């Protein structure tokens, strides 16, 4: 190093001379010194170039070698005299740089090589070296210096020379992306490692800074890291960091960064543990925490924690941390720095280490045993793929799952959010049955097979020019109406999965298609009145029709559907053919079991969002949060009537009560609720509270205060087969404590309830475990339960956002591989929140979102039927099918009556386009039901927009596709433990009846050339804010050449009509976000409703509408939580936006209101003058098509939530 110091002195002197010359520029220029210096340097480079001859060609004499040494020294002197711009010019001179590099390659004289290396040290400099190093890398300097390093690895080579080479390499490595590969190929790794190993003693280690930097660059390559670990680099580095003086923080940081890169490998982590490095690291971290009082070395302390984080991925590493008392040390240090904002990164990494070292524990419930089991109907067409082990055994299905648990797994992925969509599902096996076999239950159905769905288009069957149809057709229609009335009022009989009111295809013959375009008959003489239901029929006509049909043996005690190919009956429905019916209008709605206080026409269904003109659609003001007209007492049913409706609801288990919010109608709090903003450090504090359980476990109560599993076990067969108790006594319980007094009481034995277990941890802290979906071990997101017996410091019952310190993180509870489908090492997650109850001995209900139960829907349907103006609104509520547990699945038809019974009016009525809406395929997405409620109520109102919608379209609505899941508190699946939104491609009539028959209706409409103009499936989204649509774009589909897709135009051009509705909604709906919309069609979504309806049915405007559980971050609702009023308002706005569609598929004449005056808008003439909503204008639009977020099946981690 003495010679290096001399060179530095020489350079300083030269710089001093240069500064003196700079003060007299005129004399220097006149002397011609600058020009002569350049010429002399060029001459010296010519000497080097002349002597750069390989030794195999020519051997240099002593004189030649002396010339090379002299030229190199003169060049060094010249470069040392140059300032930074002069050196950059020299570096950019390719001929000069190549001459120097060639000299290093060809000459083995140690003095020449040292001089040349010093030249490069001077050229690179110490500050702002990036551009000069980049120039050298492009000219191949990295390869030359690596070869020089390998060549000069001799014992007699001075250490200072080796340090210089490493200095140059440390600078070049920053700009050479292939540095690690070049070093390995040049055999430079063992040279550097050996040099460091020979200088680990405290006196020599202070000169290793550039050498350690090069070693760090080697370790950036995974293969190099493995090689270095095998050759003792881990042990060497631990010796170095033990001998480095604490004042040399830069070198310590470099050594630790190198260790961080090395221990990313599990094998190297094991070597670090085996060497005993964990106690050294913990001790160093404690020392630097004590010394670094001004927080100047945060990055160094962070490197120490990163090493511990990688080491703790191993079971042996975690145990080493625990044995070294690392958990207590890290926990104490984190407590000391908890309030220091700039040390947040240290606290975060330390928490990861602590959470990994937390001893794994089993879930305090039988995680491999499903809480509720349901015996599925046998099906030879399909085997459910999501059943738990117990459910599979109950149904005779064998699951091939590796049940071996492995706690010694890697924990490299520390994300708190994960998805089991990444897990390959385990395929169950049933004998020789293969899931790859085509699903015979969903074979392509012919038009004759689909004739069973004719009954669900009463708007066509009911309204007709009577003289043109055959007597047999009239008789059958009359009888079918009788069947519909019986099934709606008395319930279904016979097969619980059968479709009601099915007509047999073997005796049903029509002279023309159901949706005929022409009527070759005279118009009916029946007129249409305003206060009287039109198209009435007499009781004697019904009796005559019944007699004629009985003679032909069409019905002998029941209606049936027969498969024409096999001749076997598919479904049957028993009913009394001789039972009398009342002599009422065939347009009279079903008799409601409820007694309403007011039966004024349109009062209950009148929209509270009536718009004055089309300009209001574009900029609607913020909803009045205090407007609670939707939830007035007159709008809801009496408790006794609700109990009667609830008794018709079939559940898997027995309920003990009716929830108070459902009984009295869910009410949102009449005020704005700002979005919850989590304070800084809340989640961190909650995680450390969880860690405190390990350290102070003796202070925990661990007292079970509610156990749903025990209730099911004690109830035995009566719990599954017994009748539920339908009542509510919450009002009587208010203010009355219940024994025992020292803890809260919980209950979830009511419709849609979900709570599995409650464990009292401390006096005011409880762990809550959720039930999985029925027959499944998965999907633990939806919760709904009651809390009572609280002690606190009376008011109106409202649903309100509550809780503080809301966090979501991975906990220490391990998941069995039986639950994860064979994947080992998975953990459960915790959702934590704090709620302070304001009233003593109150009764509170806590839910994931505003609940909307199946019974509430049935009450709404009955209320709508009872209160609408039936002379102005065509409304039919039919039972599409029954779910597996025997609950009715409703399908609604909403439109208006034709203006008259003339041929032209009826033809125009039948040719109106269809809008098909569905909802609640995922039970936990209750917000979708509130949006649907807003849509239906708006369509049944007397606002001019609703009148225009009914005049323009025929609405087909399935408001709840998964009633069994809703009733039993599931989050995602049906009773078959399957996501029904993944069964649209292939569905089984027994295991997925709702999807099978809903799709059958759509297939029937396509066969009759009446494909819906719009299909929309309402969903909820928990990860994103606002409301938005997912659509289908052929150009963004995974299948670019989809020749079988009827929605793709024949000329391969794209119909951009699917972008119109989102654009309109962005102008009219305050909660809607256009930037969140996506039209990407991924292969993983090919079995969802949106994609199947688009590809198989040919609906261009096929959407999934996602409504946030949370709130909005744009528009008038920015910063607010979404409540029930907002959701219903979105439903109304969605319906209004349909009026703005301009489509080539249909043409609507001028619309009129009840007074006969034309409305200011229509489906044909609803766009502004600049045609900004026209389909053609969307060819150039860019509506966030690149969004690839999950749609249709969005959810958080499939894990129990504590």
Known catalytic residues are: 1106
Helix axes of 344-357 and 682-695: crossing angle, nearest 10 degrees: 40
Alpha-carbon distance of 524 to 666, in angstroms, equals 46
Phi–psi pair at 65, nearest 5 degrees: -65, -35
Sheet with 874-882, side-by-side order of all strands: 874-882, 888-895, 954-958, 914-919, 1014-1021, 1101-1108, 1027-1030
> In 3D, which of 471, 1199, 462 has the Cα closest to residue 819?
1199
Sheet with 804-814, side-by-side order of all strands: 361-362, 804-814, 827-834
Q: Helices then strands (H, E): number in the chain?
A: 42, 20
- Name residue, tokens 């920053």: 174
Alpha-carbon distance of 1046 to 185, in angstroms, equals 58
Alpha-carbon distance of 238 to 1022, in angstroms, equals 47
> In 3D, which of 755, 949, 967 has the Cα closest to residue 858?
967
Alpha-carbon distance of 162 to 160, in angstroms, equals 5
> In 3D, which of 1095, 1117, 1110, 1103 has the Cα closest to residue 1063?
1103
Residues shown for the chain: 1202
Helix axes of 266-275 and 222-230: crossing angle, nearest 10 degrees: 30
Tokens of 789: 């017996």
Alpha-carbon distance of 963 to 886, in angstroms, equals 10
- Name residue, tokens 């102005």: 872
- Cα torsion through 794, 797, 799, 803, rounded to 10: 10
> In 3D, which of 934, 949, 962, 961 has the Cα closest to residue 894?
949
CA distances from 254 to 170, 217, 1019, 1071 (A): 12, 10, 52, 52
CB atoms within 10 A of CB 46: 12
Alpha-carbon distance of 521 to 192, in angstroms, equals 99
Alpha-carbon distance of 953 to 174, in angstroms, equals 67
- Name residue, tokens 């390869």: 143
* DSSP tag of 522: P
Tokens of 498: 């059968």
Neighbouring residues of 578: CB distance < 8 A, sequence distance ≥ 6: 546
Alpha-carbon distance of 343 to 699, in angstroms, equals 30
Alpha-carbon distance of 609 to 915, in angstroms, equals 21
Alpha-carbon distance of 582 to 455, in angstroms, equals 21
Q: How far is CA 616 from the centre of its chain?
A: 34
> In 3D, which of 973, 979, 983 has the Cα closest to residue 374?
973
User: Cis omega (within 30 of 0) on the bond before 698?
Assistant: no
Torsional sign, CA 549, 552, 554, 555? positive
Are 134 and 175 in contact, with CB atoms under 8 Å apart? yes
CB atoms within 10 A of CB 591: 14
| DSSP string of 605-655, one letter each residue | T--S---SSHHHHHSPPPP-TT--GGG-GGGS--HHHHHHHHHT---SS--
Alpha-carbon distance of 571 to 989, in angstroms, equals 10
């Amino acid at each position: 190093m003495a010679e290096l110091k001399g060179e530095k002195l020489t350079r300083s002197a030269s710089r001093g001379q240069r500064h003196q010359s700079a003060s007299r520029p005129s004399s220097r220029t006149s002397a011609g010194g600058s020009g002569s210096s350049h010429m002399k340097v060029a001459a010296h480079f010519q000497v080097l170039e002349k002597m750069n001859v390989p030794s195999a060609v020519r051997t240099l004499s002593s004189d030649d070698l002396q010339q090379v040494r002299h030229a190199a020294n003169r060049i060094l002197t010249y470069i040392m005299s140059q300032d930074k711009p002069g050196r950059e010019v020299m570096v950019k001179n390719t001929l000069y740089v190549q001459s120097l590099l060639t000299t290093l390659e060809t000459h083995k004289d140690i003095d020449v090589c040292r001089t040349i290396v010093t030249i490069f040290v001077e050229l690179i400099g110490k500050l702002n070296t990036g551009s000069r190093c980049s120039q050298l890398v492009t000219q191949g300097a990295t390869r030359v210096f690596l070869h020089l390093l390998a060549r000069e690895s001799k014992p007699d080579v001075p250490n200072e020379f080796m340090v210089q080479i490493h200095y140059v390499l440390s600078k070049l490595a920053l700009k050479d992306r292939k540095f690690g590969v070049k070093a390995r190929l040049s055999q430079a790794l063992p040279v550097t490692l050996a040099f460091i190993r020979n200088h680990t003693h405290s006196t020599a280690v202070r000169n290793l800074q550039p050498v350690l930097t090069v070693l760090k660059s080697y370790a950036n390559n995974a293969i190099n890291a493995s090689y270095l670990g095998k050759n003792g680099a881990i042990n060497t580095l631990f010796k170095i960091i033990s001998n480095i003086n604490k004042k040399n923080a830069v070198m310590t940081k470099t050594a630790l960064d190198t260790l961080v890169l090395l221990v990313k490998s599990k094998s190297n982590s094991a070597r670090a543990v085996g060497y005993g490095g964990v106690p050294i690291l913990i001790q160093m971290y404690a020392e630097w925490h004590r010394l670094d009082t001004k927080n100047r070395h945060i990055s160094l302390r962070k490197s120490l924690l990163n090493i511990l984080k990688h080491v703790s991925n191993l079971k042996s590493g975690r145990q080493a941390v625990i044995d070294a008392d690392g958990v207590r040390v890290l926990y104490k240090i984190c407590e000391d720095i908890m309030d220091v904002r700039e040390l947040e990164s240290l606290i975060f990494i330390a928490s990861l280490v602590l959470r990994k070292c937390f001893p794994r524990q089993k879930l305090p419930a039988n995680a491999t045993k499903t809480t509720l089991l349901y015996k599925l109907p046998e099906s030879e067409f399909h085997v459910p793929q999501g059943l738990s082990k117990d459910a599979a055994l109950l149904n005779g299905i064998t699951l091939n799952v590796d049940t071996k648990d492995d706690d010694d797994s890697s924990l490299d992925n520390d994300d708190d959010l994960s998805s089991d969509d990444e897990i390959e599902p385990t395929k169950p096996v049933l004998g020789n049955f293969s899931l790859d076999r085509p699903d015979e239950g969903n074979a392509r159905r012919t038009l004759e097979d689909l004739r069973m769905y004719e009954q669900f288009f009463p708007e066509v069957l009911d309204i007709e020019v009577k003289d043109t149809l055959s007597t047999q057709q009239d008789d059958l229609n009359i009888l079918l109406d009788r069947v519909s009335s019986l099934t709606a009022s008395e319930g279904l009989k016979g097969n619980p999965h059968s479709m009601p009111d099915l007509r047999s295809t073997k005796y049903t013959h029509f002279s023309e298609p159901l949706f005929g375009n022409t009527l070759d008959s005279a118009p009916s003489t029946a007129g249409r009145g305003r206060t009287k239901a039109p198209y009435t029929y007499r009781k004697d006509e019904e009796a005559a029709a019944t007699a004629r049909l009985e003679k032909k043996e069409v019905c002998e005690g029941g209606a049936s559907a027969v498969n024409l190919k096999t001749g076997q009956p598919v479904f049957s429905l028993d009913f009394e053919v001789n039972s009398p019916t009342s002599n009422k209008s065939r347009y009279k709605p079903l008799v409601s079991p409820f007694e309403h206080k007011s039966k004024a026409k349109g009062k209950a269904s009148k929209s509270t969002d009536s718009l004055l003109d089309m300009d209001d659609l574009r900029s609607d003001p913020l909803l009045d949060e205090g407007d609670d007209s939707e939830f007035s007492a007159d709008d809801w049913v009496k408790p006794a009537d609700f109990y009667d409706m609830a008794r018709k609801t079939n559940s898997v288990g027995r309920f003990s009560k009716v929830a108070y919010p459902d009984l009295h109608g869910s009410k949102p709090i009449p005020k704005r609720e700002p979005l919850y903003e989590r304070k800084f450090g809340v989640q961190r504090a909650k995680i450390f509270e969880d860690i405190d359980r390990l350290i102070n476990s003796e202070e925990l109560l661990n007292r079970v205060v509610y156990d749903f599993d025990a209730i099911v076990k004690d109830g035995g067969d009566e719990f599954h087969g017994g009748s539920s108790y339908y009542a509510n006594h919450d009002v009587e319980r208010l203010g009355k404590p219940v024994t025992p007094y020292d803890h809260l009481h919980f209950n979830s034995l009511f419709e849609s309830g979900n709570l599995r277990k409650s464990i009292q941890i401390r006096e005011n802290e409880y762990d809550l475990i959720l039930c999985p979906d029925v027959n499944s071990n998965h999907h633990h997101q939806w919760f709904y339960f009651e809390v009572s017996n609280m002690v606190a410091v009376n008011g109106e019952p409202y649903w309100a956002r509550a809780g503080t310190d809301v966090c979501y993180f991975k906990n220490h509870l391990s998941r069995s591989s039986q639950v994860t489908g064979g994947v080992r090492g998975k953990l459960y997650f915790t959702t934590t929140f704090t709620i302070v109850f304001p009233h003593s001995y109150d009764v509170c209900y806590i839910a994931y979102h505003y609940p909307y139960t199946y019974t509430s829907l049935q009450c709404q349907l009955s209320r709508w039927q009872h209160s609408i103006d039936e002379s102005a609104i065509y409304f039919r509520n039919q039972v599409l099918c029954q779910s597996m547990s025997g609950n009715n699945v409703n399908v609604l038809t909403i439109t208006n009556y034709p203006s008259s019974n003339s041929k032209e009016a009826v033809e125009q009525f039948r040719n109106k386009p269809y809008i098909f809406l569905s909802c609640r395929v995922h039970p936990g997405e209750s917000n979708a039901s509130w949006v649907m409620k807003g849509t239906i109520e708006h369509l049944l109102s007397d606002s001019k927009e609703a009148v225009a919608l009914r005049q323009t379209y025929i609405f087909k609505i399935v408001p709840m596709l998964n009633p069994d899941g809703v009733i039993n508190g599931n989050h995602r699946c049906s009773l078959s433990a399957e996501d029904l939104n993944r069964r649209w491609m292939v569905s089984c009539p027994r295991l997925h009846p709702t999807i099978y028959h809903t799709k059958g209706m759509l297939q029937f409409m396509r066969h009759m050339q009446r494909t819906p103009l719009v299909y929309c499936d309402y969903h909820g989204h928990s990860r994103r804010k606002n409301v938005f649509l997912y659509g289908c774009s052929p150009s963004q589909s995974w299948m670019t050449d989809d020749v079988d897709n009827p929605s793709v135009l024949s000329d391969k051009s794209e119909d951009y009509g699917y972008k119109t509705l989102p654009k309109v909604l962005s102008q009219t709906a305050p909660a809607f976000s256009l930037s969140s919309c996506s039209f990407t069609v991924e292969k993983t979504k090919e079995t969802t409703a949106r994609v199947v309806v688009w590809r198989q049915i040919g609906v261009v405007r096929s959407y999934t509408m996602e409504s946030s559980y949370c709130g909005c971050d744009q528009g008038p609702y920015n910063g607010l939580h979404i409540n029930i009023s907002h959701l219903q308002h979105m439903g109304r706005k969605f319906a209004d936006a349909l009026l703005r569609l301009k489509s080539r598929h249909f043409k609507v004449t001028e619309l009129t209101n009840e007074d006969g005056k034309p409305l200011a808008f229509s489906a044909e003439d609803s766009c502004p003058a600049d045609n900004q909503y026209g389909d053609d204008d969307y060819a150039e639009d860019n509506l966030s098509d690149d969004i690839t977020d999950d749609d249709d099946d969005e959810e958080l981690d499939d894990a129990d939530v504590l």
